[in-house]
Structure 1
Amino acid sequence: MPAISMDQHTTEAVAGHLGPAAIRFTHNDGAVPVLDPDVRDSMAIVTGFGPTNAPTAGTLSVMLGAVELQRQLHAPMTVIISDLGAWNSRNVAWSTLVQVRDQMFAFLIALGLDRDATDLRSHLDHANLVRAGRIARYLSRADFQEHRESLLELYADHGLLGSEIGVVTDSLYTVADVLGPFDHGAKHVLMVSGMEEAYFTDLARLVLERQANARELGLGWTGNIGALYFRVLEGLAGYPKMSKSIPASSIHLNMSPHEVAERVMRDDQTSQPAVLSAIELASGWDATSAAAAREAFAHREAQPGPWHEIRAEFCATFNRYATLWKQSAS
């Protein structure tokens, strides 16, 4: 079933299971049955992050969302920092990937991720590499051409992509990540990611179906995969997404307070919606503070003062996360 924008009925159903964390998601792909409390004992959650650079506000929003989701569902969670996948699909030095990977591990724990309930790992994982090798037989080149990241052309235009085989290899590792809980007896997997990564869900479902029909060549997996997709945080300067691979589109946690302020406090109109989204999703502010930010944004032309103050407050908040990020390197 293709991902769909959540209607009121679906939103209410998701909110009933996820509580306040539900506002972070805009699209649902078969997630409601997976979230049913009656299947909770056999359900697992999968999400992950690419270690190509320090987290942007967009990546931070997903990290905060993962922590909220874990606290709400109390279900086993796998969080993957895709070092080997990024090495194959992006033009980033291995030493950088390793450094950012280890820093992300520490940062996620500092944000409150429950280490005891989480399989926090990278792609340098023997079981996942074996799983990727075993599922390759169920996928064709045409599958990877049909199900691919929507932003590939944008990344290619910026010289960021690895080879075609490297991109396919990265996808294979990540599909194996999604399917990993089935190796441990799960019957229901909830994939949570950005909407641009929905193709991983599609490919994982193809594998699940084809291995089930392969008789003696199957893997014995049965169950279903649901997905929830995080609201995309728009990029600064009019970019479609705040991406760490496109510096002009984002603020990130390695920036100095001056650099953050330079981008957040800038008055160009193309960046203002992205700043509001960052405040809503990557600040950790409560509902009252977020509502005040929306009010100031809506009246920013007639009354610029409150919006200026809100942005300055967000700079301070983001810089506190940046300090925590830098401390996670030690």
Structure 2
Amino acid sequence: MADLADHYAAIREEFDYDRTDVAVGDLSAGLVDRAFAATTDADAVASAGDDTLFVASAGLTGTPHVGTVAQMFAVERLHDAGFDTQFLLADYEKYAGSGRDLDVVRGLADDYREFLDGVGYEGGVRTQYDDRDVMHTAFRLAPYFEFEDGVDFDRDPNDWEAKLRDAYDTHQVEHDDASGSTEFGGRMAALLCLADFLHPTLADGYDQTVFVLGIDEHPLYLFNEHYAAKTPFDPAFDCLFTRMVPGLDGYPKMSKTIPGSGITMDMAPDRVRRLVHEADDGAPPAASAVYRMMTLVSDYDADRLTDLEAACREGGEAWDAARAEYADYLAGLASEWPA
């Protein structure tokens, strides 16, 4: 999707985010810049060390698609580079904020945990349901959290955001077990989210937390920054925002709640292979869904990605072979999803 690059540039300019053309530990600047579209503070991320925790997360609205798996691979790369990492399974958030059945989301959390193990992630994994220490932090924060004091995001969306909003308005589906929630339930989920952001530095001894979020989730950073400033605490958190995987069938992104928009890990391997081939529409690397998947969900290093970028741009036999190899790789990942 050609306007994704424009979207990244617009978000960086509007919210004063930095580019990610910096090395992070042993991860080269070339690899980091291919995986991430922006960061809240390039210098802070580049200086991450033993006192830094990197955290990625997934809202449990369904089976992970390739974009969700990209968050897993982002922290896996960081863990392999020697950093402390954590993958947060946001189960209570969906129960309180959306009225999802608690047994359903807890079962989904178990599947995510098994899948993370199956794809080789060796960092920390936690659920909101099981982590009572973070709930304790939420209570510590509660006196400074005013329900009526929200964050104003009254702004005109850019072209990509407008397309995404239209896609959700038109095609988003609700889960059968989602009974709906209350305004209070939604705000409790928001308070728990704030605790998730502040807990590592407030209670776990880290000097810095870096959250790995899709760039479409960047308002979470603004929200939590707004409320953290109202507390007497001074926790340090920054964000790395991953690039997006363009959706199938012309959708702006892959989404767990827009049927047909993504390649999901519960698909049969042959279907995964077919969809990888169908997703390649001859677009240049900046707009190619297949090349973007390769940069985000693979063990390719920066040199290999440079070669693949050239192959994608030129097309031909080299790109055909690379695409077939990657289709097999992604099908192998999907086979790790619990049956």
Alignment TM-score > 0.5, same fold? yes
Over residues 60-83 of structure 1, what are the superposed CA-to-partner deviations in whole Å (9 max), with x where a residue is unaligned?
A: 1211110111222423x3321011
Partner of 2:193: 174
Q: What residue number does 1:108 align with?
A: 116
Task: For 1:171-320, list aligned pairs within 5 A.
Answer: 171-181=190-200, 182-212=202-232, 221-266=233-278, 269=281, 273-300=288-315, 303=316, 305-320=317-332
Per-residue displacement from partner, 1:158-178 (whole Å, max 9, x unpaired)?
244854634443332222111
The answer as to whether partners of 2:72 and 2:87 remain within 8 angstroms in 1 is: no
Whole-angstrom CA distance in 2 between matches of 1:275 and 1:260 = 12
Cα separation, 2, equivalents of 1:105 and 1:147: 34
The sequence identity of aligned pairs, in percent, is 24
**1:29 Cα deviation from its structure 2 partner:** 0.3
Q: Show structure 1 runs of 5+ residues with no match.
A: 213-220
| Match of residue 123, structure 1, among 106, 119, 128 | 128
Deviation per residue, 1:191-250 (Å, 9 max, x gap) = 2211122222222222332112xxxxxxxx334222111112221222222122223111
Classify 1:199/1:139 alpha carbon distance in 2 versus 1 (closer, same or farther; 3 Å).
Answer: farther
| Equivalent residue for 1:83, pick from 91, 105, 110 | 91
Whether 1:33 and 2:33 are equivalent positions in the alignment is no
Q: Give the structure 1 partner of residue 57 of structure 2.
A: 48
Give the conservation status (yes or no) of the 8 Å contact 1:237–1:270: no
The structure in which a higher percent of residues are helix is: 1
Please, what TM-score do these two structures have when normalized by structure 2?
Answer: 0.77
Does the 8 Å CA contact 1:48/1:79 hold for their aligned counterparts?
yes
Q: CA deviation at 1:91?
A: 6.8
Query: CA separation in 2, counterparts of 1:205 and 1:55?
Result: 28
Q: Hey, what's the Cα distance between the residues in 2 that align with 1:192 and 1:298?
A: 29
Contact 1:29–1:228 (CA under 8 A) maintained in structure 2 = yes
CA shift, 1:18, in A, is 5.0
C-alpha distance in structure 2 between counterparts of 1:95 and 1:196, whole Å: 28
The RMSD of aligned alpha carbons is 3.2
Return the alpha-carbon distance in structure 2 between the equivalents of residues 288 and 34 of structure 1.
22
Contact 1:144/1:168, CA 8 A, preserved across alignment: no
SS of the equivalent of 2:231 reads: helix
Correspondence for 1:22: 32
Residue 261 of structure 1: how far off its partner (Å): 3.0
Q: 1:241 and 1:142, CA in 2 relative to 1: closer, same or farther beyond 3 A?
A: farther
Counterpart code for 1:121: R
CA distance in 1: counterparts of 2:169 and 2:102, whole angstroms: 19
Kindly indicate whether the alpha-carbon contact (under 8 Å) linking 2:198 and 2:235 is maintained by their aligned counterparts in 1: no
Q: CA deviation at 1:27?
A: 0.5
Q: What TM-score does the superposition give when structure 1 sets the normalisation length?
A: 0.79
Matching residue of 1:216: none
SS at match of 1:192: strand
- Seen in structure 2, the aligned counterparts of structure 1 residues 294 and 143 have a Cα distance that, compared at 3 Å, is farther
Superposition deviation, residue 133 in structure 1: 3.6
Equivalent pair of 2:99/2:181 in contact (CA under 8 Å): no
Q: Label 1:169 to 1:3 Cα distance change in 2 as closer, same or farther (>3 A).
A: farther
1:8-19 alignment, distance < 5 Å:
11-12=21-22, 15-19=23-27
Following the alignment from structure 1 to structure 2, what is the Cα–Cα distance between the partners of residues 179 and 253? 31
1:71 counterpart residue number: 80
Distance 1:87 1:270, change over 3 A: farther
Q: Which moved further from structure 2: 242-251 or 104-113?
A: 104-113
Q: How many residues align?
A: 305
d(CA) in 2 for partners of 1:261, 1:113 = 23
Q: Is the 8 A contact 2:269 2:335 kept in 1?
A: no
Partners in 2 of 1:238 and 1:142 — Cα distance?
Answer: 38
Post-superposition shift, 1:259? 1.9
Measured against aligned partners, the alpha-carbon deviations of 1:171-192 in whole angstroms (never above 9, x if no partner) come to 3222211111112233322122
Cα 1:143/1:78, change in 2 over 3 Å: farther
Q: Where in structure 2 are there 5+ consecutive unaligned residues?
A: 1-13
For residues 154 and 235 of structure 1, what CA distance do their matches in structure 2 show?
11
2:52 corresponds to 1:58: no
